[in-house]
Structure 1
Amino acid sequence: MATVIRRNERSWAIDLISKINLIAKNNDLVIKKAGGETTVSTGRGNTMFPDVVLYGNVEQSVILQGWELKMPDVPIEDETFIKDAQRKAIALNLNSCLIWNFTYAVLYVRGEGNSFTKIKQWNATNHIHTRQDVETYRSDWERQLDEIITEVNRYFASGQFRNAPLGEIISESAITTLIQRNKNIIAENLHANAFRDAVMAAFIDNWWLSVKSEYAQDESDKYKAYAKTIILNWANRILFAHIIKHRQNGAMLVDEIDYDRTPDGANTIFKKITEKCDFYNVFSAVRYNEILPELSWQDFVEFSNFLRSNGIDHLNQETLQNILEGSVSTNKRAINGQYTTPTELAKLLVRLTVRDWSDTILDCCCGTGTIPKEAIQIKKSQMTAKEAVETVWACDKNNYPLQVANISMTDSDTINIANRLFQHNALTLTISEKITITNPETGDNMVLSLPAFGAVVSNLPFVPFEIIPADDKDEIAKMPLAKNLDGRSDLYCYIATKIADVIKPGGMLGIIVSNSWLGTNAGVKFVEVLKKKYNIRQVHISGKGRWFENADIVTTIIILEKKQNSDSFDTEFWLWKLSLEQLAENADAENTLVNSALLSSELNHSISRLSKYSQAQIKDILSLNMCYNAFFHDVDWLLNVKDKIIPINKVYNVFRGSRRGWDPLFYPQRGEHKIEPQYLKKVLINARNVTKLIATADRDAFCCGVSMEELKKCGHSGALSWIEKFVDQRNGVGKPLPTVLKRKGMEWYELKDNEIAEVFTMMNPDQRLFFAKFETPSFVNQRLIGLTHKADYPDEELNHALLNSMFTMFYIEASGFGRGLGVLDVNKDSIANCYMLNPKLVSTTDRQKILSAFGQLKARPIMKVSEELKDETRLAFEHTVLHSFGIDIYFDKIKTSLLSMQETRATAKE
């Protein structure tokens, strides 16, 4: 049944509101006032807000309950009628609602899971059956109304029903409701219009290319993503105008938005507001925001009417600020939320970076403004609000987050001060460049010159090299140092290098970037390029959970100082032992972490741990095939044992197992084939079920390089029928297997078996680090790394024992870095480049001792590293090995470094 409120119904709603106000005035009730008449649309059902709203104060800033009204011809049992009332209660974050059709009234209470229960029904006016009866029996339903108000009031007086502050509703419920109600229908409308407008389609395509990575875990459809941008553009403009209109008269024009005005007309209103008040980044329209379905536009008008009629002008400064902050949080969840900087991380980044708080600060990739907001807040504690705002600059390449950033950076006490916020690509910023901002006090344009900054602080965009936008690639090509970076470098590498151009000599750069540079060759080149422009002062990582909970990515903070002389310096590697949540809840711990970094001193190792190295030490450690990830774990001891170790690839040939890509063909199950024995080789598929250091290949591999014609001639029907079984099969995207498996110089069904492993280890291991030896050299597949000893190192037993020492475990851990889900990023090359203790340095006597201890280790199951290093058999073996090399004094250091790396990697799972 339709739920449209016609004009006579609207007039009855207004009459009802007037009567409730009279009852409230004549009695001392929790219910102080009723309203809602301005939110009642004359043309649309399914409205956002209730027909009647009960308030807990005369200023209408505390909402108690919503009522949904219908005339008697709509049954009180009508499901749409009931659901509308309940939906609106949820949108207002209330736990009760009432429906009334002048014949009956029903009161509902909301329970867990948004379920509603009827707790009261009034039937005293059940003789009212028609619309005419509503007029005829006015006195009857007015008496009924008096009774209803009295009883509803008792529920509020007893505390059974809760109220909702206006600020909470606006910032948390209303904007979310707008998105939920309108995202899909606006997206459909955009899609339909783009089909008829190639320019519009191209614009949205190009926009999506630049922001797609930010929506990876949120939206996969570009039209839905852009629909949310449009919704937030309208919601933020409407909300911000209502918030500032009593301090900025120009914003009073927002009250002219009504059902008779079009989106284009409303955009004109906001242009006028901008001319009078500035806040261009807030009030400017995103492109195509006027292309709205009628239903969506009515929602925005209703939202504006709701704000106009619900006491927002009576809210105090603190509440207005809470609304601003709450709406910013909602926006961040809706737009690029997975990489939005957590508030605590933003604060810490700013505090770790800035050295002179009186100097200028820039966030060159500000997104939704969390970092510049924190900078302004800290500055305001020591200087005037005007000085704070005017010394914090922020820009972003994309326009869509600047609206949120402007709101985020604005406090209720800084509304008349122009934020230094502008749209700009970080790759093209130059000192003295002219930036135009409107003065919010006069409406005049202010042309400002971009200064040299004392500090740049930013969460740089997480854009892999594969999807760097074309315009950014053009700018990168102009950079003198671009050729020194790896061609597979992420965008942040280029921005970090280029932004030095706008930093004062001796000024600071603090950036949040992914941890990918810690364990890759591209990362080594990145650091070398940074060193040409900066002194790398500090690197920070989390040893207690990911900083970005909604994304699998693991991040680091890098603190750099722009070079002004060639003095030598140390680089500090800080490992945080508390999570962001713990730091946010403990101001003393937060201060200790920051002060430790500023003083270059480990003040409390339970909060943050310091490993410090000179540039010469870093160079020497890297030369031993360490990656930067190892430096957080106190590895300077490695330089004292470097004459005892040798790269694994000096002792072994290292290779990755055969990779063909269609396991059902190449690894047949026992009993499902009759393949001749000469075409079968023993293979180990993975190490998951390997429990001891001596292993046996457990599967068959089909290794046949003979043509099908030759198989027929030889009568090898088993192999032939096995191949024919797959001739007509297709892969996951529908391509025939003979096509996708074809390799030059090979039959399409051929699997090479020329690399037989004596020893193997895992690709991307987790908690078990080991090298197992085959009883009989065997074939391994792509999930494993195989090793065969070289002729110069013939002692296979000793080689195997030393491979499994704690020292080699340490090296495996130190050769890679933890991915987002906690596994170790290790491959064939990283294993080959690992070091092991040199077998040729072991005496005959020590060899026997090592093999005796290793024999006991081989006899028991492989354990997790943390368990291994508590086991007496393992500890006896480790001390025997290290003693034979004369380095047993480093046992504790090796153990501590290894366990610290494992624990830190594992925390990425949290």
Structure 2
Amino acid sequence: MAKAKTIVDERTLAGWLSSPTEARAARLLEEDKEPVFFHADVEEHVQDPETGVTKRCDVTLRSRTHPIATVEMKRPEVAAADSPALQSDSWSKAVGRGLPYFLTANFREILVWETAKGPDQSRPLIRYTLAADLSHSSFAPKRRAEISDNWVKFLDEFAQLLHQREEKQKGPRKLPPQVLELKEVIHEAAEEAAERIRSAVNEDEAFRQKTLEAFRLQFGVEISLNPHGSKDRLLAESLQVATIATFVVTTRLMLYQALANSNRADGTTFALDLLDITRSTGDPQRVLSDLAGLYEHARRKTGDFETQFSPSELDDIVFVDAASSRRDVGELWGKIIDVVQGADWEAPVTYVPGLYESLLDDEHRHVMGVHYTPDPVVELITAYAVQDPADIVLDPASGAGTFVTMCYERKRALGSTHDQSLAEVYAVELAQFAASLTGFNLTLADTSASSAYPRVFRTDFFQTYPGEQSGLELPDAGRVPYPQQVDAVVGNPPYIRFESRLPEERQEVFNFLQRHFLKTQTAYPNFTGKADIWAFFVAGAHMYLRPGGRLGFIVSWNLLASDYGDAVITFLARYFKIHALIDSRVERWFAAKQNTVIILAEKVADPAAKLSHQSNPNVPADHQVRFVRLKRPIEELVSSEAPRGKRAEDLIDEILATDHDAGDDLRWDIRIFAQKALLEMETSTDGFGDE
């Protein structure tokens, strides 16, 4: 009689994976590498009441802080790894836990599937052999070492997949073909300009200082351009300076061509001269003179766009008259003009930020904080924040103007006019170049309109105050004050440590809040220590919003994972109705290294007296907060058929209409909490203490 096979149950087999997972993580940490996977936890087992054999067993792969994927295990004699029933079980658990991946295994092999694609998939992302030809669990103990070794190799491959997808998600946005072509010719012209810039830096200290100051003013970044230092660094910095300056000049050419292609509201054209320069010249000053003539011509013919066509220090830098081995500057700029003339440059906000981001090397992109928010995220936030065509909107840190341009488009989609929308959308931006990009994107929002004077304040948000005069003067409005009260504050405020600011800058922020505190007795939290500066932007938004006005910010995930984040939530719970806090399981929303959270909240009326630890009587006692974790990219959730500015309306309406926990929806998990419970998270309320 044949000897009966000894069954090794799934729980035992799954348990073999825990130790090698943790050992792999420890080894990577010793090599100064951050593991993706720290644990393989056996979480659930169900025993058959008749046989006592474990029939089902889950393993959850975890990072240091959160689960990544659920694994459904079967013995090889019970099911194939790609069994539909096994897929369905594992997928349903991944959906319930909000995980982007689910795995199926039978210890002969293991398969990785993507949760968003559903339970009925034919092709896994990864198919990996753990024990070739393993036919029965009884043979598994003899092959335990083989299974463990292959499991570690599988984790290496799975981790590589996750890294690749993460890099793809956070990398520069995909650019349309004509923009990629423009990027190439910008690089060609910049390489020639970089040689002249290096020569000028070596020969003229005044030029070097002028360039350093321009980059401090325009971009808020320090460079050295040291002719006596590292040659490689000088090469890299001069090329980056030339690339950025060439890009700035190119945006003016794009504006010129867009105006030349457009019709006025009455059907007539601007009748602009052909965009061109002397292509046979090797003299950069001749090219600069030709372009200056075109700018002046555009100002005269349009009677508009004075600010957009004004020269800047970057013109003098990119066209500096200095020694060069090349004499093809006119030809190179002619190539840029050919590309500009050969494409449609409407709606630049959809591609200009991505073009600029792609022109920067990794070091400069990080130092300059150039990370733009994807359109679908901006659509979602503005669909919530802007409810009426007459809404007045403020972005206190506008960057390239992605949010304010979307707000303009949303107001137009809701029925507002061009003039009204342009006059009711305000932007504040410290970096001069970013402020000019905001103005550029708003200017080209409607080239057929008769006026184009965006309300862009080039200053630090913490130097503004509601209703006071600004330094901005426009031909159609004179000196423009900061808005007194707005209906919406939107944006992606910077993720910079407050403690990294200069002492006088930190004091400026405290003075900004102290001034309003003395006026309204608002109990601002004490955002000291390791707080990011965005926390202060939340408090500043409260100053500008009218009661009933809406806040839509995307901020660091530290909102949900730090002491100062607790203080922000407590502040929001006291002075706002928090409608939703949204994060994502499946994507990062821009290229910063940390995850992010969307805040959607509505300001309530200020209380009659200063609040300390009690609830605000103007916040309804039964108000509920939705904590939303998305399981699909926002781009897949917004409408592709609706016009820009209205694509996320249905998505916002459905999220805000949810009044119960929702864990089995393929799109998101939603958990409902009473807002009054969030006041218990308070750390300190009477801010403006010592640092």
Deviation at 1:463, TM superposition (A): 1.4
- 1:230 equivalent to 2:245? Answer yes
The answer to whether structure 1 residue 331 and structure 2 residue 383 are counterparts is no
Q: CA deviation at 1:574?
A: 1.5
Cα distance change of structure 1 residues 196 and 561 upon mapping to structure 2, 3 Å threshold: same
- Matched with 1:283 is 309
- Counterpart residue identity of residue 611, structure 1: R
CA contact (8 A) 1:230 1:289 kept: yes
Cα deviation 1:589-609 (Å, max 9, x = unaligned)? 955531123334468832233
Q: 2:596 aligns with which of 533, 555, 570?
A: 555
CA distance in 2, matches of 1:436, 1:245: 31
Shift in Å at residue 557 of structure 1? 0.8
Aligned counterpart in structure 2 of residue 178 of structure 1, from 182, 186, 195: 186
Aligned residues of 1:512 and 1:557 also touching (Cα < 8 A): yes
Structure 1: how far apart are the matches of 2:326 and 2:429?
29
Q: C-alpha separation between the residues in 1 aligned to 2:639 and 2:198?
A: 44
Match among 373, 394, 417 for residue 341 of structure 1: 373
Would the aligned equivalents of 1:515 and 1:556 in 2 still touch at CA under 8 Å? yes
- How far, CA to CA, are the matches of 1:552 and 1:355 in structure 2? 32
User: Would the aligned equivalents of 1:229 and 1:400 in 2 still touch at CA under 8 Å?
Assistant: no
Aligned-residue offset at 1:243: 2.4
Instruction: Indicate yes or no: 2:450 matched with 1:416.
Output: yes
Aligned AA for 2:409?
A: Q
Distance in 1 (CA, whole Å) between partners of 2:624 and 2:371 is 31
Distance 1:246 1:611, change over 3 A: closer
**3-state SS of 2:414 partner:** coil
Alignment of 1:595 with 2:627, yes or no, is no
Deviation at 1:554, TM superposition (A): 0.6
Residue by residue, what CA displacement relative to the aligned partner does 1:715-764 show, whole Å, maximum 9, x if unpaired?
A: xxxxxxxxxxxxxxxxxxxxxxxxxxxxxxxxxxxxxxxxxxxxxxxxxx
* Among 646, 659, 669, the residue aligned to 1:609: 669
Moved more, 366-375 or 532-541: 532-541
User: Does the 8 A contact of 1:366 with 1:405 survive in 2?
Assistant: yes
> Which of residues 387, 392, 397 in structure 2 aligns to 1:365?
397
Taking a change above 3 Å as real, the CA distance of residues 541 and 283 of structure 1, as seen in their structure-2 partners, is same
Question: How far 1:613 sits from its partner (Å)?
Answer: 1.7
| Separation in 1, partners of 2:572, 2:677 | 18
- Give the number of aligned pairs: 445
**Structure 1 residue 382: Cα displacement:** 2.7
Match of 1:496 in 2: 538
Give the corresponding residue for 2:258: 243
Aligned to 1:664: none
**Could you tell me how far apart the structure 1 residues matched to 2:212 and 2:347 are?**
38
- Give the Cα separation in 2 of the matches to 1:190 and 1:449: 41
> Secondary structure of the equivalent of 1:282?
coil
TM-score, normalised relative to structure 1? 0.43
Which residue identity lines up with residue 417 of structure 1 in the other structure? S
Task: Specify the code of the residue in structure 1 equivalent to 2:253.
Answer: I
In 2, Cα distance between the equivalents of 1:221 and 1:594?
45
The unaligned stretches of length 5 or more in structure 2 are 1-174, 224-233, 263-268, 518-523, 607-617, 684-691
Amino acid corresponding to residue 596 of structure 2 in structure 1:
T
Q: Which amino acid is the alignment partner of residue 498 of structure 1?
A: G
Assess if the C-alpha contact under 8 Å between 1:175 and 1:327 holds in 2: no
Deviation at 1:528, TM superposition (A): 3.5
Structure 1 residues 296 and 527: alpha-carbon distance in aligned structure 2, compared to 1, 3 A threshold: farther
Residue type of the partner of 1:333? Answer: S
What residue is the counterpart of 1:820 in the other structure? none
How far apart, in 2, do the equivalents of 1:252 and 1:360 lie? 37
Report matched runs for 1:532-547 at 5 Å: 533-547=575-589
- Partner secondary structure for residue 445 of structure 2: coil
Counterpart check, 1:567 vs 2:634? no
Counterpart position of 1:427: 462
CA 1:242/1:460 → structure 2, altered by over 3 Å: closer, same or farther? same
Shift of 1:359: 1.1
Output the aligned Cα RMSD.
4.1
Residue type at the aligned position of 2:418: A
Which residue number in structure 1 is paired with residue 636 of structure 2? 582
Query: Measured at CA, do residues 450 and 201 of structure 1 come closer, stay the same or move farther in structure 2, by a change above 3 Å?
Result: closer
Letter in 1 for 2:422: V
Instruction: State the distance in 2 between where 1:198 and 1:404 align.
Output: 25
SS at match of 1:432: coil
Bigger relative contact order, structure 1 or 2 (CA pairs below 8 A, ≥6 apart): 2
Which structure 2 residues correspond to residues 69-218 of structure 1 after superposition, within 5 A? 170-179=178-187, 181-182=189-190, 184-185=194-195, 188-189=198-199, 191-192=201-202, 195-196=205-206, 199-200=209-210, 203=213, 206-207=216-217, 210-211=220-221
Q: 1:387 corresponds to which letter in structure 2?
A: Q
Cα 1:186/1:541, change in 2 over 3 Å: farther
Amino acid aligned to 1:397: L
* Deviation at residue 194 of structure 1 after TM alignment: 7.1
Q: How does 1:854-869 map to 2 (within 5 A)?
A: none
The answer (yes or no) to whether the contact 1:547–1:580 under 8 Å persists in 2 is no
**CA-CA distance at 1:368 after TM superposition:** 1.1
State the Cα distance separating 1:412 from its structure 2 match: 4.6
Q: Given the superposition, is the C-alpha separation of residues 474 and 268 from structure 1 closer, same or farther in structure 2, using an over 3 Å criterion?
A: farther
Q: Which residue of 1 aligns with 2:419?
A: 386
Q: Which residue of 2 aligns with 1:321?
A: 346
Structure 2 vs 1, CA of residues 453 and 224 (structure 1 numbering), >3 Å: closer, same or farther?
A: farther
> Displacement of 1:180 after TM fit?
5.1
Counterpart of 1:606 in 2: which secondary structure? coil
Aligned partners of 2:187 and 2:243 also within 8 Å: yes
Distance 1:525 1:212 in 2: 33
Q: Deviations over 1:227-267 (max 9, x none)?
A: 33211111111222132135574964964666464466357
Q: Deviations over 1:499-522 (max 9, x none)?
A: 322221221111111112321122
C-alpha change, 1:204 and 1:390, in structure 2 (3 Å) is closer
Q: CA deviation at 1:456?
A: 0.9
Cα contact 1:239–1:304 (8 A) shared by 2: no
Residue 361 of structure 1 contacts residue 453 of structure 1 at CA under 8 Å; is this kept in 2?
A: yes
Q: Contact (CA 8 Å) 2:581, 2:599: kept in 1 or not? A: yes
CA pair 324-486 structure 1, distance change in 2 beyond 3 A = closer
* Structure 2: distance between partners of 1:613 and 1:561: 16
1:305, CA displacement in angstroms? 4.0
Structure 1 segment 464-863 matched on structure 2, within 5 A: 464-468=497-501, 472-478=505-511, 479-480=513-514, 484-531=526-573, 533-548=575-590, 550-565=591-606, 566-568=618-620, 569-583=623-637, 590-601=648-659, 605-619=665-679, 622=681
Do the aligned residues in 1 keep the contact of 2:579 with 2:600 (CA within 8 Å)? yes
1:265 to 286, 289, 294: 289
User: 1:274, CA displacement in angstroms?
Assistant: 4.8
Alpha-carbon distance between aligned partners in 2 of 1:546 and 1:228, rounded to the nearest angstrom: 28
CA contact (8 A) 1:486 1:526 kept: no
- Counterpart of 2:89 in structure 1 is none
